[in-house]
Amino acid sequence: MSESVTHAAIETVAQDSYGRLIAYLAARSGDVAGAEDALGDAFIAALRRWPAEGVPEKPEAWLLHVARNRMIDAARRKQVQQKSETFLQQITEEAASVAATQEYFPDERLKLLFVCAHPAIDPSAQTPLMLQTVLGVDAARIASAFLVSPAAMSQQLVRAKNKIRDAAIPFRVPVPPELEERVSFVLDAIYAAYTTGWESLMETASTHHALASEAIALGRTLTQLMPHEPEAHGLLALMLHCEARREARYASDGDFVPLDRQDTALWSQSMIDEAETHLHSAAGFKRMGRYQLEAAIQSVHASRAKTTHIDWKEIALLYEGLVRIAPRIGSLVGRAVAIAQAGEPLTGIFCP
């Protein structure tokens, strides 16, 4: 088999399964950095062996097998403690069962997302950690989007991974009553990946685009992992609505064009449609939340493409709901603007 074919195969596996492989290995060892090192070694082994031996029938299982052996070696070298012995036993048994059955290995990415957004992790490390472990975005690119030096970003990531391992932050999906708050941490961390791109828009437009699509990829993953969580659909809808207008946001001379004056022909209708589909799914659960409301506000703006006018009263109403759920300065200002646009400026200023 030619090298280029195997390289392409390896790239495909890395693109499709990186986060799942890391999540599977880390969920069993509690050690994200160890999982990354082991998987890195496994990919190197694949690059060396697949051109001669051919791409295995189940490439992911092959990589897991090699990575698992690497982790066992590493653990032995570290004069294993009782804890890791149990883990080694467990992972050996599980890897054997993965290899034996035709079953696909379990998807532990949701647990990994909850670990990344665990309140015991430094808030500024949560979003970078997700981007790196779930999507495999490299630290240098994350650093440039967050406007910090690559060395500082690497250090922050290393510190967070050490804490996950040393403090034994568990890989689990939280249960109620904790669940709701923990989900909101995951949502906020994903949204931060999107808005971070916005802030760095001043620096370079290309960086923004890069991270925005990563944030949307995380949002999509979350809706697949938590299909019954309306806020996950709400968040994805919000990001898609904003992203749909990327081309319309700047005039050809580089000037910023406000939303209500954008040329709707430049909006991406396919992204708007996808956003609307998710907003619709979210509404079916009849549990309102911050991201659904924000997405609904964007949805009203998006309908200008068809109706040619903006229903400010509707927007004011949505902001009213948003202010009640999340009374942030942004929603207070948004509500005042919407009420003023709806023709009641004094109410806009004086309403509590």
Partner 1 sequence: MKYALLVHQSQEHFDRRNDKAAVAAGRAYAEALQAAGVFVAGAGLDSPRNATTVSIRDGKRQVHDGPYAETKEFLAGFGIIYVPNLDAALEWAARHPAAGFASIEVRPLLGFGSAKA
To partner 1, the closest distance from the beta carbon of 105 in angstroms equals: 23
Contact present, 161 and 193 (Cβ < 8 Å): no
* Residue written as token pair 């808030």: 123
Identify which of residues 149 and 162 has a Cβ nearer to partner 1 in the complex. 162
DSSP codes joined into one string, 150-172:
HHHHHHHHHHHHHHHHHTT----
Chosen residue from 2, 4, 82, 307 binding partner 1 by CB under 8 A: 82
Identify which of residues 62 and 114 has a Cβ nearer to partner 1 in the complex. 114
Identify which of residues 27 and 98 has a Cβ nearer to partner 1 in the complex. 27
Among candidate residues 229, 267, 227, 225, the one with its CA nearest the CA of residue 247: 267
Query: Segment contacting partner 1 (CB under 8 A): 13-21, 102-110, 136-144, 169-177?
Result: 169-177
Alpha carbons within 13 angstroms on the beta-carbon side of residue 34 total 25
To partner 1, the closest distance from the beta carbon of 182 in angstroms equals: 10
To partner 1, the closest distance from the beta carbon of 168 in angstroms equals: 5
Chosen residue from 1, 140, 167, 251 binding partner 1 by CB under 8 A: 167
Query: Segment contacting partner 1 (CB under 8 A): 36-44, 77-85, 140-148, 194-202?
Result: 77-85
Chosen residue from 57, 77, 100, 168 binding partner 1 by CB under 8 A: 168
Identify which of residues 88 and 193 has a Cβ nearer to partner 1 in the complex. 88
To partner 1, the closest distance from the beta carbon of 121 in angstroms equals: 11
Strand ranges for the chain from DSSP E: none
Is residue 228 within the footprint of partner 1 (CB under 8 A)?
no
Q: How many helices (H) and strands (E) does the chain have?
A: 17, 0
Among candidate residues 330, 135, 328, the one with its CA nearest the CA of residue 219: 135
Cα 206 from Cα 204, distance rounded (Å)? 5
If you ran DSSP here, which 8-state letter would residue 119 be given? Answer: T
Tokens standing for residue 242: 């904003």
Query: Segment contacting partner 1 (CB under 8 A): 76-84, 93-101, 130-138, 331-339?
Result: 76-84
Query: Segment contacting partner 1 (CB under 8 A): 5-13, 39-47, 160-168, 327-335?
Result: 160-168
To partner 1, the closest distance from the beta carbon of 27 in angstroms equals: 12
To partner 1, the closest distance from the beta carbon of 326 in angstroms equals: 25
Task: Count the site residues for partner 1 by CB under 8 A.
Answer: 11
Cα 302 from Cα 238, distance rounded (Å)? 11
Identify which of residues 83 and 324 has a Cβ nearer to partner 1 in the complex. 83
Cα 76 from Cα 275, distance rounded (Å)? 49
Furthest C-alpha separation in the chain: 76
**Which residues between 171 and 210 bind partner 1 (CB under 8 A)?**
172, 174
Cα 134 from Cα 155, distance rounded (Å)? 18
Identify which of residues 9 and 110 has a Cβ nearer to partner 1 in the complex. 110
Tokens standing for residue 211: 């991270």
Over the window 95 to 124, marking each residue x when it contacts partner 1 by CB under 8 A and - when it does not, the resulting string is -------------------------x----
Chosen residue from 83, 159, 228, 328 binding partner 1 by CB under 8 A: 83
DSSP codes joined into one string, 277-312:
HHHHHHHTT----HHHHHHHHHHHHHTHHHHSS--H
To partner 1, the closest distance from the beta carbon of 179 in angstroms equals: 12
Contact present, 228 and 276 (Cβ < 8 Å): no
To partner 1, the closest distance from the beta carbon of 170 in angstroms equals: 4
Cα 316 from Cα 45, distance rounded (Å)? 58
* Residue written as token pair 């969920």: 27
Which spans of this chain sit near partner 1 (rule: CB under 8 A)?
A: 81-83, 120, 166-170, 172, 174
